[in-house]
Amino acid sequence: MEFSAVSPYNVAARAPLPDKITIYDSTLRDGEQMPGIRFTPEQKIAIATKLSEMGVPQIEAGFPASSDQDRRAVKMITDLGLKSEILALSRTMSADIDAAAECEVDLILMFICTSDLHMQYKLKMTPEEVLSRVETSLDYAHARGLKVAFSSEDSTRSNLMFLIDVYHTAERCGASRLGITDTVGCANPEAIHYLVNKVKENTKTPLSVHLHNDFGFALANSISSLEAGAEAVTTTVGGIGERAGNVPLEQLVMALKHLYKRDLGIKTEGFRALATLVFDSINMTIPPNQPWVGLNPFSHESGIHVAAILNNPMTYESVNPEQVGNRRRLLFGKHSGTALVKSRLAEKKVIADQEQICDIVRAIKKAGEDHGRVSDEEFWAIVQKVVASELKGPARDTR
Interface residues toward Mn ion, by CB under 5 A? 30
In angstroms, give the least distance from the CB of 30 to Mn ion.
Answer: 4
The dihedral through the CA atoms of 336, 338, 339, 345 has a sign that is positive
Closest distance to Mn ion from the beta carbon of 208 (Å): 12
Q: Output the smallest distance, CB 13 to Mn ion, in A.
A: 25
Q: In the bound complex, which residue of the shown chain has the CB atom lying closest to Mn ion?
A: 30
Nearest CB to Mn ion, comparing residues 184 and 264: 184
- The minimum distance between CB 134 and Mn ion, in angstroms, equals 19
Which CB atom, from 191 or from 259, has the smaller least distance to Mn ion?
Answer: 191
Q: Which is nearer to Mn ion, 92 or 336 (CB)?
A: 92
- Are 69 and 41 contacting, i.e. CB atoms less than 8 angstroms apart? yes
Q: How far is the CB of 115 from Mn ion (least distance, A)?
A: 14
User: Which of residues 130 and 180 has its CB atom nearest to Mn ion in the complex?
Assistant: 180
> 26 vs 169, which CB is nearer to Mn ion?
26
Whichever of 215 and 316 has its CB closer to Mn ion, that residue is 215
Q: Do 380 and 332 meet the contact criterion of CB atoms below 8 Å apart?
A: no
Nearer to Mn ion, 30 or 96 (CB): 30
Q: Name the minimum Å distance from CB 81 to Mn ion.
A: 28
Q: Tell me how far, at minimum, the Cβ of 59 lies from Mn ion, in Å.
A: 15
Q: How far is the CB of 184 from Mn ion (least distance, A)?
A: 9
Output 247 or 254, the one with its CB closest to Mn ion: 247
Q: How far apart are CA 302 and CA 389, in angstroms?
A: 27
